[in-house]
Structure 1
Amino acid sequence: MTLKHSLLAGLLTLCTSLSVMAAPDINGVKIEDNITLAGSKLQLNGAGIRYKAIFKVYVAELHTTQKVSSLDELIAAPGPKRLSMTFLREIEAGPFGKLLTRGVEDNVPKNEMSKLVPGLIRMGDIFTVNKALLPGDVIHLDWIPGTGMVVTAKGKVQGEPFKEPEFFKAIMSIWFGPSPADFKLKEALLGQK
């Protein structure tokens, strides 16, 4: 190998190493490969953009302790889990909360809905209080075993945790159920794309 080839090979190796070290980016949102939640290290399961018609609404990320490829696997996975949404455009929080409720209604059997109503009302209140979600605002939906689902919006924990695992599953069905809000986003979050 000539000196020129050795330098070129070294430069290529350096460039490859740098690109591997840099966190991926989706539409200007930095995606972390690993995060720590409640003392557990979580890995990126998948990430993608939520579209509404032609508009980019938010970048979503799913972090888990192990790879999952379905709603049932997500719920069964041990340890904490995080679904994050980083908003790309301004939206009114109240209507967004109503869309979440509709997403649950689209994915949960009717006979189970009555048990979810108190939690859905609380979720609606969280979004009503926040008024608007601006570009760069982040919402985390964290499942922490022994605590429940903790909702963080704009860096602040929103009220008490939702303790019921059934409620967490119903909320996750918005993204991972049989009628998700965005099929392409579901595939991206489950690492199928």
Structure 2
Amino acid sequence: MHFMKSIAAAITLCCALGQAAAVEVAGVKLDDSAKVANKDLKLNGAGVRVKAIFKVYVAGLYLPEKKSTVADILSMDGPRRITLVMLRDVSSDDFGQSFITGLNNNADKAEKTKIINQTMKFGEMFQQIPSIKKGDVLTLDWVPGSGTQSTLNGKKIGEVLPDIAFYNAVLKIWLGDNPADSSLKPQLLGSSKGSGA
């Protein structure tokens, strides 16, 4: 009898641990950790990007350690990841244009000048993809010593873009002074406030 109770307790613990390994946002399960450049990253925060009344994607920000301020995140050493899981189909033109708009809305003239070549290459990456479909997963990783690496559904897309200033400019799409979605920003910073579900 004691043996059966031990097995039941072990099964309960495994189930609890399995449930703790993912965070659910708008029906999308995000792992609470990710591995980038052989380093374990933690899910800092997650939420839904809403445009007008439409839920566009779930976003998750992964960092080596949890941070709650934009300045701390932008000055971090080590790898980082932003994961986007699409909640609807979007043309690659529209998706790419929204990225470029977000970059432009959150970078000053000097920053834009510094990253203009990488921004153009980033835009070209979206031209290689006919569309982004519901359920597609786009990841944007910062890999120290290499650069910004993008994948769509686990396949590398585009070039590696070497400047940390570019990756930080991409993060500012969601974390900058003029974020793409003002309710998503606090969620990525680890706040439970906002309309993420």
Q: TM-score, normalised by structure 1?
A: 0.87
- Provide runs of 4+ in structure 1 moved above 4 Å: 14-17
- Aligned partner of 1:84 in structure 2 is 83
Q: Could you tell me which residue of structure 2 aligns to residue 42 of structure 1?
A: 41
The answer (yes or no) to whether the contact 2:41–2:80 under 8 Å persists in 1 is: yes
Deviation (angstroms), 1:129? 1.0
Contact 2:46–2:59, Cα closer than 8 Å, also in 1: yes
> What per-residue deviation string (whole Å, max 9, x for no partner) do you get for residues 144-190 of structure 1?
11111101123211132110111111111101111100111111111
Aligned to 2:195: none
* Residue in structure 1 matching 2:18, options 21, 27, 35: 21
Q: Following the alignment from structure 2 to structure 1, what is the Cα–Cα distance between the partners of residues 117 and 28?
A: 33
Deviation at 1:15? 6.9
Q: RMSD over aligned Cα, in angstroms? A: 2.1
Structure-1 separation of matches of 2:189 and 2:16:
23
Residues 35 and 43, structure 1, Cα contact 8 Å, conserved in 2: yes
1:97 correspondence with 2:96: yes
1:39-62 C-alpha deviation (Å, 9 max, x unpaired): 111111001110011111000011
1:165-180 alignment runs, 5 A limit: 165-180=164-179
TM-superposition CA deviations, 1:92-125 (whole Å, max 9, x none): 0112111111111111112331222211111111
Q: Distance in 2 between matches of 1:166 and 1:54?
A: 32
- CA gap of 1:34–1:161, structure 2 versus 1, over 3 A, is same
Give me the whole-angstrom Cα distance separating, in 1, the residues matched to 2:94 and 2:159: 22
Give unpaired runs (5+ residues) of structure 1. Answer: 1-6
Higher Cα Rg: structure 1 or 2? Answer: 1
Unaligned runs of 5+ in 2: 193-197
- Measure the CA separation in 1 of the matches of 2:168 and 2:182: 18
User: What is the CA–CA distance in structure 2 between the aligned matches of 1:184 and 1:48, rounded to whole Å?
Assistant: 8
Letter in 1 for 2:158: G
Deviation of 1:90 after TM superposition, in Å, equals 0.2
Q: 131-140 vs 15-24, which deviates more?
A: 15-24
Q: Which residue does the alignment assign to 1:3? A: none
The number of residues matched between the two structures is 184
**2 CA distance for matches of 1:190 and 1:31?**
16
Question: Contact between 1:31 and 1:61, CA under 8 Å: does it hold in 2?
Answer: yes
TM-score (normalizing by structure 2):
0.86
* 3-state SS of 1:122 partner: helix
